[in-house]
Amino acid sequence: MLTEIVEDYDAMSIRAATLVAQQINEKPDAVIGFATGSTPVGVYHHLIRMHRDEGLDFSKLTCFNLDEYIGLTPQHTQSYHHFMWQNLFLHVNVDPRSVFIPMGMANDPEKFCDWYEQQIQASGGVDLQLLGIGGNGHLAFNEPGASLGSRTRVTALTQDTIDANARFFESSQEVPATAITMGIGTILESKCLVLMASGEKKAQAIKATLEGPVMVMMPASAIQLHANVHVIIDKGAASALEYDHHDGIAESIRTDAS
């Protein structure tokens, strides 16, 4: 697991955007998995800049998003559809027919989830998946307790997540209580994972993810099972780590001067 600790949010964003751009340049028809939340906003800002100033070409990509609230229309300002179009897709030359985001208004959400899994398989699988992390260690909307082999499905949100995401809504009562999410098993099938975190509010979840056991109570810890993971965190998010992570290893930090 390659862990990079960078100075701040902007450095994290530039680094992750650079990895995405490298993937796109190496394979113009790559399949990219995108994430929502406040963490990737800076990455999208830099990808838009790279498209505008450096000609980064999104036209042949296929894009899959991790999750969506159930009950919000794509037009709802807090839907992840709206988020992705406003923060990235409207500003780059992506082909709208190649953008897949779970449909929170699907008539039959269970059937939709099966269809979504089939679309990922049919695309050849995700080459690079961007990931944020919840303060409780959730990955996409895989909350503590989610099976590490789980697939795209309907899930309930924990009160912790509803409270954390209430900042984007008028009140916590307005936050949907359920969502569609790629499963942890689905995410682990991506060829490369890029997990990002910024700020001290993520420090305990990052410590548990990188240095704790793999367990359902810490869904993000499942990334330890993946062969190609890139973790990019800033100093705040790294502040609870007990080991020095470098070059794919973790060494105990020496406190003595000898």
The label of the residue with tokens 């838009």 reads 48
Query: CB 108 → ligand GLP: shortest distance, Å?
Result: 22
Nearer to ligand GLP, 10 or 57 (CB): 10
53-72: which residues touch ligand GLP (CB under 6 A)? 66-67
Pairing status of strand 192-197 against strand 128-131: parallel
The answer to whether residue 143 is catalytic is: yes
CA 214 from centroid of its chain's CA atoms? 18
Question: Quick one: which of 3, 23, 36, 186 contacts ligand GLP (CB under 6 A)?
Answer: 36
Nearer to ligand GLP, 176 or 252 (CB): 176
Complete DSSP assignment for 22-41 = HHHHH-TT-EEEE--SSTTH
DSSP 139: B
Question: Quick one: which of 3, 23, 39, 221 contacts ligand GLP (CB under 6 A)?
Answer: 39
137-196: which residues touch ligand GLP (CB under 6 A)? 140-141, 161, 165
Question: Quick one: which of 35, 56, 63, 208 contacts ligand GLP (CB under 6 A)?
Answer: 35
Judged by CB under 6 A, the stretch of 33-41, 71-79, 185-193, 211-219 that binds ligand GLP is: 33-41
Judged by CB under 6 A, the stretch of 24-32, 35-43, 184-192, 215-223 that binds ligand GLP is: 35-43
Name the residue among 12, 2, 17, 1 with its Cα closest to residue 236. Answer: 12
Nearer to ligand GLP, 38 or 59 (CB): 38
* Whether 29 contacts 60, CB under 8 Å: yes
The yes or no reply on residue 120 touching ligand GLP (CB under 6 A) is: no
Pairing status of strand 178-181 against strand 67-69: antiparallel
- Among candidate residues 136, 142, 165, 234, the one labeled active-site is 136
The answer to whether residue 107 is catalytic is: no
CA distance 221 to 213: 7
Question: Quick one: which of 25, 38, 121, 228 contacts ligand GLP (CB under 6 A)?
Answer: 38
CA distance 17 to 32: 12
DSSP 76: S
Tell me the backbone φ, ψ of residue 170, rounded to 5 degrees: -65, -35
CA distance 144 to 211: 17
Q: Catalytic residue positions? A: 67, 136, 138, 143
Site of interaction with ligand GLP (CB under 6 A): 35-39, 66-67, 132-134, 140-141, 161, 165
